[in-house]
C-alpha cells in the first residue's frame, strides 16, 4: 500500500498566486505570534529596567541599554517571594502526588478489576465531570473553615486532589493493555498490586506523566481556592502572592520589581512546557480545558 501523498502543498498551483498566499499566511501567523510574545517580552524588559529609569520614561522605551538585576533582588527581599514559591512547589507536589495515587488506583479498578456495580459507579463518576467547581467551592470553604483547616496545607491540598477527568483518561489507557498480560501475570502468581506497579504503570507511563504535568500546571496557576482558604501570607501561593504584591507589595508604583516577580513565577512553567512540549500538547488536545 503506497502512502497517501501530500500533494496539495507545492504542485500545480499558479505560482504567483501561491507566493502571495504564502506571504499573507506568514504575515498573519507572525502577527499573532508577536501578540502572544509581546507581553512576555515586555515583562522581561520591564524587569531589567531600573526603578528610576522605568519611572522616568513617560514614553515607554522598547528596549533598554542598561539592564539591571536589582529588581530581582528586590523581589526576593521586599516581599516573601521565595516563601510563595516554596509554598506553591509544596502545594503542587502534594496535590499532584496524591492525585496520582487516587487516580491510578481507581483507574485500575475500573479498567481491570471486576466488582458489582462497576459500570454504574463509572457512569456516576463520569456525570461528576459536569459539575462546575464554582458550585462546590462554597461548601468546601465552609467545611475547611469549620475543620479549622484554613491557612494549612491540608486545607489547600485535600479539596484539590480528585479529578474525574484524569481517572477517565487513565482508565482508557489502562484498557488498551492487552488482557493476556494480566492472565500471564496471574498464572505466574503476581498480585494485582504488583501487576499494577510493575506492568501497568510502566506501560502507561506516558499518560501518567501527561496527567501529572497537566495537574501541576493547574496547581501552579490556581488562584481562587488558595485565595479563599489562606489569608496568612505565610501560606500564600504565587498567584495570591502576585495579587498581594500588586495591591500592597512594593508600593504600587514599583513596577520593575513587580515584573521581576512575575518573571520568576512564570519561568518554571515555561521551562516545564518547553521540556515536555509534546506530552503537554497531546494531553491538552485529548480533552483538557483551561481552568
Residue ranges in 123-182 that form contacts with another protein under rule CB under 8 A: 125, 128, 131-132, 134-143, 158-159, 161-162, 164, 167
- Of 9-17, 69-77, 182-190, 199-207, the segment contacting another protein by CB under 8 A is 9-17
Q: What is the DSSP string of the chain?
A: -PPPP--TTTTTS-HHHHHHHHHHHHHHHHHHHHHHHHHHHHHHHHHTS-HHHHHH-SS--S--SS--SHHHHHHHHHS-HHHHHHHHHHHHHHHHHHHHHHHHHHHHHHHH---TTHHHHHHHHHHHTTS-HHHHHHHHHHHHHHTT-TTSHHHHHGGG---HHHHHHHHHHHHTS-HHHHHHHHHTT--HHHHIIIIIHHHTHHHHHHHHHHHHHHHHH--HHHHHH--SGGG--HHHHHHHHHHHSS-TT-HHHHHHHHHHHHHHHHHHHHHSHHHHHHHHHTT----
CB 176 → another protein: shortest distance, Å? 19
CB 264 → another protein: shortest distance, Å? 9
List the one residue out of 168, 94, 157, 92 whose CA is nearest residue 130: 168
CB 67 → another protein: shortest distance, Å? 18
CB 49 → another protein: shortest distance, Å? 12
CB 228 → another protein: shortest distance, Å? 5
- Contact pick of 200, 242, 257, 279 for another protein (by CB under 8 A): 242
CB 79 → another protein: shortest distance, Å? 14
Count of beta carbons in the 10 Å neighbourhood of residue 187 = 8
# binding residues, another protein (CB under 8 A): 102
Q: Which of residues 25-44 bind another protein (CB under 8 A)?
A: 25-26, 28-29, 32-33, 35-37, 39-40, 42-43
Q: Which of residues 72-131 bind another protein (CB under 8 A)?
A: 101-103, 105-106, 108-110, 113-116, 118, 121, 125, 128, 131
CB 57 → another protein: shortest distance, Å? 6
Q: Which of residues 221-240 bind another protein (CB under 8 A)?
A: 221, 223-224, 227-228, 238-239
Distance, in Å, from the CA atom of 78 to the CA atom of 120, rounded to the nearest integer, reads: 55
Residue 48 vs 242, nearer CB to another protein = 242
**188 contributes a contact to another protein by CB under 8 A:** no
Residue 164 vs 203, nearer CB to another protein = 164
Q: Which of residues 189-218 bind another protein (CB under 8 A)?
A: 192, 217
Amino acid at each position: 500500500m503506497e502512502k497517501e501523498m501530500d500533494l496539495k502543498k507545492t504542485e500545480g498551483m499558479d505560482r504567483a498566486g501561491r507566493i502571495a498566499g504564502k506571504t499573507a499566511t506568514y504575515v498573519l501567523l507572525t502577527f499573532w505570534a508577536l501578540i502572544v510574545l509581546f507581553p512576555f517580552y515586555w515583562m522581561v524588559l520591564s524587569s531589567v529596567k531600573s526603578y528610576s529609569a522605568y519611572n522616568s520614561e513617560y514614553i515607554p522605551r522598547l528596549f533598554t541599554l542598561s539592564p539591571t538585576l536589582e529588581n530581582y533582588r528586590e523581589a526576593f527581599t521586599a516581599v516573601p517571594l521565595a516563601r510563595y514559591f516554596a509554598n506553591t512547589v509544596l502545594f503542587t507536589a502534594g496535590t499532584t502526588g496524591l492525585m496520582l495515587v487516587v487516580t491510578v488506583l481507581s483507574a485500575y479498578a475500573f479498567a481491570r478489576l471486576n466488582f458489582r456495580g462497576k459500570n454504574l459507579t463509572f457512569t456516576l463518576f463520569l456525570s461528576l465531570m459536569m459539575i462546575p467547581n464554582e458550585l462546590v467551592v462554597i461548601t468546601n470553604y465552609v467545611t475547611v473553615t469549620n475543620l479549622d483547616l484554613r491557612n494549612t496545607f491540608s486545607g489547600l491540598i485535600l479539596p484539590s486532589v480528585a479529578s474525574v477527568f484524569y481517572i477517565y483518561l487513565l482508565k482508557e489507557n489502562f484498557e488498551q493493555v492487552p488482557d493476556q498480560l494480566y492472565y500471564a501475570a496471574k498464572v505466574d502468581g503476581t498480585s494485582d498490586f504488583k501487576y499494577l506497579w510493575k506492568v501497568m504503570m510502566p506501560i502507561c507511563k506516558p499518560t501518567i506523566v501527561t496527567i501529572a504535568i497537566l495537574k501541576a500546571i493547574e496547581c501552579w496557576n490556581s488562584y481562587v481556592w488558595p485565595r479563599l482558604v489562606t489569608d496568612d501570607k505565610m501560606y500564600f501561593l504565587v498567584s495570591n502572592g502576585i495579587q498581594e504584591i500588586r495591591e500592597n507589595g512594593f508600593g504600587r508604583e514599583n513596577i520593575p520589581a513587580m515584573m521581576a516577580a512575575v518573571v520568576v513565577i512564570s519561568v518554571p512553567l515555561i521551562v516545564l512546557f518547553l521540556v515536555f512540549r509534546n506530552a503537554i500538547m497531546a494531553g491538552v488536545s485529548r480533552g483538557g480545558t483551561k481552568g
